[in-house]
C-alpha cells in the first residue's frame, strides 16, 4: 500500500498553523470548518479540498501554493515540463522593451493562426506542446506589435498571453499566471478590445476563487460585465458575458450565497440559449453543456454532494467538448463520489480524467487530494489505486 512521505497538504497546514502560533482549536475558529474537520485533514484522514485550503490560507495570510506544494517540481521534471517555464517567464518580460531588430518573425497572418492554435492545444490538454511553442510566439508577436501595430496583432498577442496564463495555472505557477494576466490587460488596452479586457477580469476573478477572497472575485466579475459595451448583443459579447456569469456562480457558491449563485447560473443559461455551442469563441467552452457543468460545480462547492452527483449522472458530455473540460468534469465528479464514500466510482472517474488529459490530471490539486483521500479510505489498496498514487509521486 502506498505510504505517505510526510509531504502533503495536511502536514503543510499543520506546519504553517504552528508557525502562526495557533492551536487547532484557534485555527478552526477562524475558518468555516469544524475542529474535527481540521484535525482530520492535518492527520491525513480527510483530503484537503480546494475550498478548505483557500479558507486556511486566507486565515493564515499565506499563499495557497504554500499549502498545496505547487508546482509539483519532481513530476514536472520527469515530464520535462519544468524546463519550459523559464523561457515563458522571459518572453513575458519583453512587453515594454520596444522592437528587437534581432528577432526574425513569421508573417502576421501566420502568427495570428499560431496564436489560435495554441489556445486549441490547451483546450486539448496538450500542455507540453503549448508550453514549448509559446515563448517564440510571444517574442515574435511582441516584435511585430512594436514594428507595425494593428488591432489584429494586439489581439493575437493578448491571446498568447492568455495561453501563458492557462498553461502556468495548470502547472501551478500562479505567480507567473498573474503576470500573464497583467500582460493580457496591456494588450487588450492597445487592441481597444472590450471583450478581451472583460475576459481578463473573468480570469482575475478565478485567481481570488483559488485564494478564498470571493468578494473581490465577484467584484472583478462585475467589472468585467461593465467593460462590455452596453447593448452589445454580438455572439462574442454574449459568450464573454455568459462566461463571466459562470465564474460568478462558483464564486457565489464558495461565498455560500446560494441565491446569487442561482442567479448567475440562470443568466448564463439565458445567454447559452441565445448563442448555442460557443465553445470556440475565445476558446471559453461556453454553451449549454458548460452551464450544466457549472451548475453541478455550484452544488459541489456548497457541499451538496448528493445533488452534485445527481446532476453529474444526468450530464452527457458530447464528443466535441474540449478535452481539458472533460477531464475537469471527471476530477470534480471523483471528489463528489469520494465525499459520498463511493470509492470505486471515484477511482473510475479519476482514471477517466487521466485517460482524457494525463498532464492536466497529474498536476491538478483536486485530483491529487482525492487520490490521497481514496488511499486513506481503502483498507486494502487495489492495484489501480496503487498505480494512481505512484503516478502522482505519493
What are the sequence ranges of the domains in the chain? 1-69, 322-394
270-to-198, 218, 222, 266 alpha-carbon distances in Å: 19, 20, 17, 6
DSSP state at residue 384: H
93 in helix, strand or coil?
coil
Q: Are 161 and 92 in contact (CB under 8 A)?
A: yes
Using alpha carbons only, give the angle 19, 303, 252 rounded to the nearest 5 degrees: 85
Chain centroid to CA 327: 12
Q: What is the mean pLDDT of residues 44-70?
A: 88
Residue 2 has pLDDT above 60, yes or no: no
Query: What pLDDT is recorded for position 45?
Result: 81
Residue 392: C-alpha distances to residues 2, 75, 316, 360 (Å)? 11, 7, 28, 12
- Read off the pLDDT band of 284 (50, 70, 90): very high
**What grid cell was written down for 141?**
508577436
Report residue 3's pLDDT band, with 50, 70 and 90 as the boundaries.
very low
Per-residue CA distances from 379 to 296, 341, 376 (Å): 30, 13, 8
Specify the range with the lowest mean pLDDT, choosing from 13-27, 57-71, 132-146, 348-362. 57-71
Closest CA to 201 of 189, 212, 190, 191: 189
Percent of the chain residues topping a pLDDT of 70: 98
How much is the average pLDDT of 135-153?
97
CATH number of the domain located at residue range(s) 322-394 in this protein: 1.25.40
CA 199 to CA 202: how far, in whole Å? 5
Pairwise CA distance, residues 203 & 209, whole Å: 10
Per the document, the length of the chain is 394
- The residue with cell 479586457 is 197
CATH class, domain 1-69, is: mainly alpha
Distance CA 218, CA 204 (A): 10
Give me the mean pLDDT over the 74-84 stretch: 83
Q: What is the average pLDDT across 273-288?
A: 95
Is 151's pLDDT higher than 50? yes
- The grid cell for 233 is 448583443
251: phi then psi, degrees, rounded to nearest 5: -65, -45
d(CA 363, CA 27): 28
- Is there a contact between 338 and 369 (Cβ–Cβ < 8 Å)? no
- If you write DSSP's letter for every residue of 220-234 in order, what string do you get? HHHHHHHHSPTT--S
In the structure, what pLDDT confidence band is assigned to residue 46 with cuts at 50, 70 and 90?
Answer: confident
122 SS3 class: helix
3-state secondary structure of 136: helix
- pLDDT at position 6: 56
Least confident interval from 7-11, 56-60, 128-132, 275-279: 7-11
Mean pLDDT of the chain: 93
Amino acid at each position: 500500500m502506498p505510504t505517505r512521505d510526510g509531504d502533503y497538504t495536511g502536514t503543510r497546514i499543520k506546519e504553517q498553523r504552528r508557525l502562526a502560533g495557533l492551536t487547532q482549536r484557534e485555527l478552526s475558529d477562524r475558518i468555516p470548518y469544524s475542529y474535527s474537520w481540521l484535525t482530520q485533514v492535518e492527520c491525513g484522514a480527510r483530503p484537503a479540498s480546494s475550498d478548505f485550503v483557500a479558507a486556511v490560507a486566507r486565515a493564515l495570510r499565506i499563499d495557497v501554493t504554500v499549502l498545496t506544494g505547487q508546482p509539483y517540481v519532481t513530476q514536472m521534471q520527469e515530464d520535462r515540463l519544468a524546463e519550459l517555464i523559464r523561457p515563458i517567464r522571459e518572453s513575458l518580460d519583453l512587453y515594454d522593451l520596444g522592437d528587437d531588430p534581432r528577432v526574425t518573425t513569421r508573417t502576421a497572418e501566420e502568427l495570428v493562426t499560431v496564436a489560435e492554435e495554441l489556445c486549441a492545444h490547451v483546450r486539448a490538454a496538450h500542455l507540453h506542446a503549448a508550453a514549448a511553442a509559446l515563448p517564440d510566439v510571444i517574442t515574435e508577436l511582441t516584435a511585430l506589435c512594436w514594428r507595425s501595430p494593428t488591432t489584429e496583432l494586439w489581439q493575437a498577442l493578448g491571446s498568447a498571453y492568455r495561453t501563458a496564463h492557462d498553461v502556468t495555472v495548470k502547472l501551478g505557477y500562479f505567480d507567473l499566471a498573474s503576470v500573464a494576466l497583467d500582460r493580457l490587460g496591456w494588450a487588450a488596452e492597445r487592441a481597444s478590445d472590450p471583450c478581451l479586457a472583460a475576459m481578463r477580469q473573468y480570469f482575475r476573478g478565478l485567481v481570488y476563487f483559488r485564494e478564498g477572497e470571493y468578494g473581490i472575485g465577484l467584484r472583478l466579475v462585475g467589472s468585467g460585465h461593465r467593460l462590455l459595451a452596453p447593448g452589445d448583443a454580438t455572439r462574442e459579447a454574449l459568450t464573454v458575458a455568459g462566461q463571466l456569469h459562470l465564474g460568478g456562480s462558483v464564486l457565489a457558491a464558495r461565498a455560500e450565497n446560494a441565491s446569487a449563485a442561482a442567479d448567475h447560473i440562470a443568466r448564463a443559461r439565458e445567454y447559452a440559449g441565445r448563442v448555442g455551442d460557443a465553445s470556440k469563441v475565445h476558446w471559453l467552452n461556453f454553451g449549454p453543456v458548460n452551464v450544466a457543468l457549472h451548475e453541478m460545480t455550484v452544488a459541489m462547492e456548497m457541499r451538496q454532494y448528493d445533488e452534485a452527483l445527481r446532476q453529474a449522472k444526468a450530464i452527457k458530455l458530447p464528443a466535441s467538448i474540449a478535452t481539458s473540460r472533460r477531464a475537469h468534469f471527471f476530477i470534480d465528479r471523483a471528489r463528489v463520489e469520494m465525499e459520498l464514500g463511493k470509492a470505486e466510482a471515484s477511482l473510475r472517474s479519476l482514471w477517466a480524467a487521466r485517460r482524457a488529459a494525463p498532464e492536466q490530471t497529474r498536476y491538478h490539486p483536486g485530483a491529487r487530494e482525492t487520490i490521497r483521500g481514496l488511499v486513506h479510505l481503502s483498507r486494502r489498496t487495489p492495484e489501480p489505486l496503487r498505480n494512481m498514487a505512484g503516478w502522482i509521486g505519493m
